[in-house]
């Protein structure tokens, strides 16, 4: 197996990173208001793979306190979870106070990762770039931690390998969760992280934009602090460079400076949208990591533990509202200039906003988003379009079906814990496994269809998607 030496394993960089932790020297980032999952954090400069971006700051609390707080936050109706593990005994709670890292959203195909560092005897959590990240790209990491608090949330990351729900603890966490120390000899002994294994297309620039999920509206978390895109948000910065969210309690006696941060539109330039499309397409072509989804949703993976049951029984049910899921529609990524102009014309909002938010306006003004454009439209031939479209529909339907089966077993999960097999009637379990298989099959068929049609184009050397330096690019 190919093992890539992780950039952080280079001892020479230890001192440098330690200093950055100590001096709060972070990469330039900006807040953005996503559609569907609250705030997110964008790179505001180009960031190199392996670069330390920002520390995950917050209150360090014990395991017991973490449990207590998460229950209390949930009782208060806080849907977003900000508690991450520092080690098995301690946690960082960034709910009320924390650095901007608290706004980094989860992705199943992340461009960042968390790494633990021991800086002057203290364990600290840093967010590091996994790949080169261009300015304007949303930062994300795979949460992968034991989830404390927060409702079960449908994942909106739209990665091809998406696990569909947050709060799914994956094996990866153990691997990422190493403590690094300055000059630490153990570094040499730690098995090196094989990034190629996880991300076969990691060299393709990753741009993850937030998307609107019309069909998932009922599933998404509620955000009490929702603002209009384009609004200006006021953040209070204290002297230690931490932020206080406007919906959190203010700490007494703290000197606050106020800084204005412009809320950005989710999609970037058309070029970046294209880049996103290429990335998504590449992820599709790379093959779906269906094994991870399987791991997270298998009902029969062991007996229920009381601990888990207790925790899970407190999770709030998120309503599906019977809406059809359309989780992987890449249609939004492709929009001609004409359409963009049309959007601006049809928008009732200010011209300035419209210019900045052509896609946004289309969605909000037009109610339900039309589903006429999708990945199929990338193909020049009508036949290919028809075929890919057909498989995408089947795939979406299978995902919707899986969600609705999940709703059926949710009461059992709430009562007995997510890993309990015994409590689910065999008929439901069979249905669950069946829905999984159907989804895998549909995912696979869709990927095969995309690959097949790409290969057709490549063989014919015709118009349509064509190879370029960074992967695939699309013809105007």
Ligand X SMILES: C[S@@+](CC[C@H](N)C(=O)[O-])C[C@H]1O[C@@H](n2cnc3c(N)ncnc32)[C@H](O)[C@@H]1O
CA quadruple 277, 333, 272, 196: dihedral sign: negative
Chain-centroid distance of CA 232 in Å reads: 24
Determine contact, residues 41/101, Cβ cutoff 8 Å: yes
Which parts of 292-321 interact with ligand X (CB under 6 A)?
none
Among 82, 128, 279, 406, binds ligand X (CB under 6 A): 82
Identify residues 188-227 at the interface with ligand X (CB under 6 A).
221
CA distances from 61 to 57, 67, 85, 93, 95 (A): 12, 10, 9, 7, 12
**What mask, x for binding ligand X by CB under 6 A, covers residues 145 to 174?**
-----x--x-xxx--------x--------
Which residue's CB is nearer to ligand X, number 67 or number 102?
Answer: 102
Whichever of 48 and 225 has its CB closer to ligand X, that residue is 225
Q: How far is the CB of 143 from ligand X (least distance, A)?
A: 7
Query: Least distance (Å) from ligand X to the CB of residue 467?
Result: 31
* Residues between 237 and 256 with contacts to ligand X, criterion CB under 6 A: none
**Rounded to 5, what percent of the chain is helix, strand, coil?**
40, 15, 45
Of 102-110, 229-237, 320-328, 335-343, which segment contacts ligand X by CB under 6 A? 102-110
Q: Residue 101 or 472: which CB sits closer to ligand X?
A: 101
Span of 23-31, 32-40, 127-135, 287-295 interacting with ligand X by CB under 6 A? 32-40
Among 32, 57, 81, 394, binds ligand X (CB under 6 A): 81
Query: How far is the C-alpha of 115 from the C-alpha of 128, rounded, in Å?
Result: 7
- 403 counts as binding ligand X under rule CB under 6 A: no
Placement of tokens 């009508």 in the chain:
382
Q: Which of 105, 320, 325, 335 binds ligand X (CB under 6 A)?
A: 105
Taking residue 298's Cβ as centre, other Cβ atoms within 10 Å add up to: 16
| CB neighbour list of residue 418: distance below 8 Å, 6 or more residues apart | 308, 312
User: Nearest-CB residue to ligand X?
Assistant: 38
Residue 82 CB, nearest approach to ligand X (Å): 5
Nearer residue to ligand X within complex by CB, 146 or 182: 146
Judging by beta carbons within 10 Å of its beta carbon (0-12, 13-18, 19+), is residue 445 exposed, middle or buried? middle
Q: Which C-beta is closer to ligand X: that of 82 or that of 391? A: 82
Tally: H helices and E strands in the chain? 13, 16
Per the CB < 8 A criterion, the answer to whether 227 and 264 are in contact is: no
Binding residues for ligand X, rule: CB under 6 A, are 37-40, 79-82, 102-103, 105-107, 150, 153, 155-157, 166, 221
């Amino acid at each position: 197996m190919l093992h890539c030496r992780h950039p952080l394993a280079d001892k020479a960089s230890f001192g440098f990173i330690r200093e950055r932790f100590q001096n709060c020297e972070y990469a330039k980032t900006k807040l953005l208001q996503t559609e569907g999952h609250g705030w997110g954090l964008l790179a505001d400069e180009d960031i190199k793979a392996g670069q330390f971006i920002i520390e995950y700051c917050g209150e360090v609390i014990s395991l017991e306190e973490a449990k207590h707080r998460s229950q209390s936050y949930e009782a208060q109706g806080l849907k977003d979870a900000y508690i991450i593990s520092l080690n098995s005994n301690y946690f960082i709670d960034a709910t009320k106070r924390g650095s901007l890292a608290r706004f980094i959203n989860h992705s199943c195909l992340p461009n960042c990762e968390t790494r633990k560092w021991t800086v002057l005897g203290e364990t600290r959590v840093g967010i590091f770039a996994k790949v080169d990240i261009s300015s304007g790209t949303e930062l994300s990491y795979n949460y992968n931690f034991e989830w404390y608090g927060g409702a079960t949330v449908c994942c909106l990351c739209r990665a091809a390998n998406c696990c569909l729900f947050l709060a799914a603890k994956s094996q990866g966490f153990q691997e990422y969760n190493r403590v690094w120390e300055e000059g630490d000899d153990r570094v040499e002994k730690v098995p090196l992280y094989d990034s190629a294994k996880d991300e076969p297309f990691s060299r393709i620039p990753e741009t993850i934009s937030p998307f609107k999920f019309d069909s998932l509206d009922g599933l998404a978390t509620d955000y009490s602090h929702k603002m209009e895109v384009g609004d200006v948000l006021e953040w209070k910065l204290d002297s230690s460079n931490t932020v206080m969210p406007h919906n959190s309690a203010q700490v007494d006696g703290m000197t606050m400076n106020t800084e204005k941060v412009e809320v950005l539109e989710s999609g970037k330039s058309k070029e970046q949208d294209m880049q996103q499309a290429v990335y998504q397409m590449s992820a599709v072509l790379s093959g779906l990591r269906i094994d991870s989804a399987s791991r997270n949703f298998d009902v029969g993976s062991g007996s229920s533990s009381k601990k888990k049951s207790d925790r899970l029984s407190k999770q709030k049910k998120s309503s599906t509202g019977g809406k059809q899921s359309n989780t992987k529609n890449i249609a939004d990524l492709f929009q001609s200039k004409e359409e963009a102009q049309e959007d601006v014309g049809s928008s009732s909002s200010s011209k300035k906003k419209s210019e900045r938010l052509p896609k946004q306006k289309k969605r909000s003004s037009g109610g339900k988003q039309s589903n006429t454009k999708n990945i199929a439209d990338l193909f020049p031939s009508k036949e290919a379009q028809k075929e890919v479209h057909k498989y995408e529909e089947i795939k979406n339907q299978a995902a919707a079906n899986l969600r609705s089966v999940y709703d059926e077993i949710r009461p059992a999960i709430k009562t007995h814990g997510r890993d309990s097999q015994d409590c689910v009637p065999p008929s439901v379990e069979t249905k669950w496994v069946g829905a999984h298989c159907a989804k895998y099959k549909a995912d696979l068929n869709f990927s095969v269809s995309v690959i097949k049609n790409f290969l057709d184009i490549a063989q014919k050397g015709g118009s349509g998607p064509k190879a370029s330096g960074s992967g695939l690019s699309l013809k105007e």
